[in-house]
Every structure is written in structure tokens, then in C-alpha cells.
């Protein structure tokens, strides 16, 4: 049991690493890579901890010093894997199980046609009605950004800000002052779709935004964080 502890923890770590590397290199889908990482780091890590604790129990009292050392090694690695997963999850513990966030729940910005953006083909890009109450409850701070300046100037600035954040602009309409973009996460390469709508608002201009994840039922708060980051960057650059 003691000898198996470090081996098991290393295997769990290898599985987690394969999930990360596979998704990053495009060998696995983002969701599959994430699931493999979670299985290795969390489930494998927990199993390693249990086996290590049993090994420590069996080697107590100085009966097997070498086995105790191996159990401690397995316990340290297993706990490290579990802490990594729980630490990442704790940042989104209050996020609702939804993956499409907008600043305008009464009239959510619409994504452009799948004839323009082929990635939309076969996907329902309408805003889910059942998400609206959850957005109101969980993200009461999200609201349109109102700024000074003409819609034309604000549209151009919004494009610049989006590109400065590393987003790929996949569609734009100068006349309607709407653009669609894609943002890819740095590790698992998850792709989120974004649409930004700009229109006149009295003497100023109003910016509405919608951010939607392609994978999973929950975005762990990533889409709301992206909207906040975009608005903050726009204000800083204005």
C-alpha cells in the first residue's frame, strides 16, 4: 500500500497533465481535456490521498520507515493535485450554472447569421429565457455602459479595445454598429462567442454586450468577468 501511494499520485498527475496538454495542443476537445484534467487531479488526487493515509496507518510506529516516506510523498502530491482543482473552483463558487450572459436582458444583442460566421451553424444562438432571472440575481452589477461620444467613434474604439484584449473579430456591421468576436482561453482553448452592440443614447452612446460559451452548461463566471473586463478596458482607454 505504501509503495503504491507515490505511484498512484504520479499517475494521477500525469493524467491531469495529459488533459491540459491535449487541449492546449488541439489533440483533444477543450471539454474533453478539461474533464481529463479534473478526473486526474481531483479523483486521482483524492484516491492518492486515501491510499497514502492507509499507508501511513500501516507504517506507523516505525515499522516501515521506507514505506512511511513513500506514503508521505504520495500524500503530498495527491493533496497538491486536489488543492489545485479546489482552488480554481473556489473562484467561481457563486457562479450560476449558465453560460450566456448579457447586459440587456430585455433585448439581448443578437449574433450575426451563420452564413457570415460558419461556427454558428447548427447552434442555437438565441438567448435562453430561463437564464434571465439567474443573471438578474447573480450579476446585479452588469448593465450597459453609457459613454460620451458619437456611436461611430465609440464603435471604432470598441473594435480597438476588443482587439487589444486578444479577441478575433469575426463579423462587423458599420451601419448597425455591431460586431461579433471570439475569445479563446489560454490553457484549455475554450472558445467563447461575443457580440457587442452600440447605439445612440440621448446625447451619448450606449454599449451592450453578450458573451456566450460554446462548451459546458456552466461558465464558472467567465462570461460576466469578460464583460466587466471589456468595459473597464474601454473606460481606461477613453
pLDDT for 144-158, tens place per residue? 999 999 999 999 999
Half-sphere exposure of 19 (CA within 13 A, CB side): 20
- Domain with 172 in it: 100-237
140 and 72: one domain?
no
pLDDT in tens, 33-44: 988 998 888 888
18 and 51: one domain?
yes
130 and 194: one domain?
yes
152 and 174: one domain?
yes
* Length of the chain measured in residues: 238
164 and 214: one domain?
yes
Please give the Cα distance from 109 to 187 (Å, whole number): 28
Q: Is residue 139 part of a domain?
A: yes
CATH (domain of 148) = 3.30.530.50
Please give the Cα distance from 62 to 155 (Å, whole number): 72
- The residue from 49, 69, 90 where one domain ends is 90
Per-residue pLDDT of the chain (238 residues; tens, 9 = 90+): 556 777 778 888 889 899 999 999 999 999 899 889 988 888 888 888 888 888 778 777 666 677 778 888 888 888 888 887 777 666 666 788 899 999 999 999 999 999 999 999 999 999 999 999 999 999 999 999 999 999 999 999 999 999 999 999 999 999 999 999 999 998 899 999 999 999 999 999 999 999 999 988 888 899 999 999 999 999 998 7
Residue 125 CB neighbours (<10 A): 17
27 and 139: one domain?
no
- Within 8 A by CB and 6+ apart from 95, the residues are 138, 218, 219, 220, 221, 224
200 and 226: one domain?
yes
pLDDT at position 19, please? 92
Q: Is residue 95 part of a domain?
A: no
79 and 143: one domain?
no
Please give the Cα distance from 46 to 175 (Å, whole number): 56
125 and 194: one domain?
yes
- The residue from 64, 90, 116 where one domain ends is 90
Structural domains counted in the chain: 2
Q: Is residue 113 part of a domain?
A: yes
216 and 139: one domain?
yes
Amino acid at each position: 500500500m505504501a509503495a503504491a501511494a507515490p505511484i498512484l499520485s504520479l499517475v494521477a498527475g500525469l493524467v491531469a497533465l495529459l488533459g491540459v496538454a491535449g487541449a492546449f495542443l488541439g489533440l483533444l476537445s477543450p471539454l474533453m481535456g478539461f474533464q481529463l484534467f479534473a478526473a486526474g487531479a481531483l479523483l486521482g488526487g483524492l484516491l492518492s490521498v486515501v491510499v497514502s493515509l492507509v499507508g501511513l496507518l500501516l507504517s506507523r510506529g516505525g515499522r516501515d520507515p521506507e514505506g512511511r516516506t513513500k506514503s508521505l510523498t504520495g500524500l503530498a502530491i495527491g493533496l497538491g493535485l486536489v488543492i489545485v482543482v479546489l482552488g480554481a473552483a473556489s473562484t467561481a463558487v457563486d457562479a450560476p450554472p449558465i453560460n450566456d450572459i448579457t447586459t440587456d436582458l430585455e433585448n439581448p444583442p443578437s449574433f450575426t447569421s451563420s452564413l457570415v460566421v460558419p461556427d454558428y451553424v447548427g447552434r442555437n444562438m438565441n438567448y435562453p429565457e430561463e437564464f434571465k432571472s439567474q443573471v438578474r440575481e447573480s450579476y446585479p452589477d452588469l448593465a450597459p455602459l453609457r459613454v460620451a461620444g458619437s456611436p461611430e467613434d465609440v464603435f471604432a474604439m470598441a473594435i480597438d479595445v476588443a482587439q487589444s484584449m486578444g479577441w478575433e473579430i469575426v463579423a462587423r456591421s458599420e451601419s448597425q454598429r455591431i460586431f461579433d468576436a471570439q475569445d479563446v482561453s489560454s490553457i484549455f482553448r475554450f472558445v467563447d462567442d461575443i457580440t457587442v452592440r452600440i447605439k445612440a443614447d440621448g446625447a451619448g452612446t450606449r454599449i451592450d454586450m453578450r458573451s456566450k460559451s460554446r462548451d459546458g452548461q456552466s461558465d464558472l463566471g467567465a462570461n460576466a468577468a469578460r464583460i466587466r473586463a471589456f468595459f473597464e478596458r474601454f473606460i481606461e482607454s477613453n
